[in-house]
Copies of this chain bind each other. A is one copy, B any other.
Amino acid sequence: MDVLRAIKLLKEEGYKYTDKRKHMLQLFADEKRYLSAREVQEFLKTNFPGLSFDTIYRNLSIFVDLGILEETELDGEKKFRYTCPSGKHHHHLICLKCGKTKEIDACPMEKVTTDLSEFQITGHKFEIYGYCSQCTA
């Protein structure tokens, strides 16, 4: 996923291409890590001082629906990052301080031997947490 493809997706699905959306997409492309709604506000407040959370959350939600962003929940807070360019399903090692990630290649679902048929499965989550080298120093 890159900015140009994200913009294309937006327009194809009938969403308007606004300056705020442009900057949000560019922010995630630049940062390549998990960001909270508040962090988005902080990054964009020089360009858009009055940017409302209604706008931020609505756009984040649209981006997730379109597959542009992926979402997780860390410590009671929703966090968002650009969907990884790798087309293959995978998981992440995540820095709890700055949201930086590293890819984990294998998905543990493939190796689960437990019988899952009693439940109607809808998803799974595998994340490893820690602090990156910048955040431990």
Interface residues of A (CB under 8 A from B): 73, 76, 78, 93, 95-96, 102-106, 108-109, 111-114, 116, 118-133, 136
Contacts and interface: CB of A to CB of B under 8 A. Distances in A.
A126 B129 contact: no
Given A76-B76, A113-B105, A116-B93, A128 B121 contact: yes
A126 B114 contact: no
A4 to B, nearest CB: 30
A37 to B, nearest CB: 13
17 contacts: A73-B76, A102-B118, A103-B114, A106-B113, A106-B114, A109-B128, A112-B128, A116-B128, A119-B132, A119-B133, A120-B130, A120-B136, A121-B129, A122-B131, A123-B128, A124-B127, A125-B125
Chain A interface, DSSP helix/strand/loop, else mixed? strand
Contact of A112 (B106, B118, B120, B125): B106
Contacts of A93: 114, 116, 119, 121
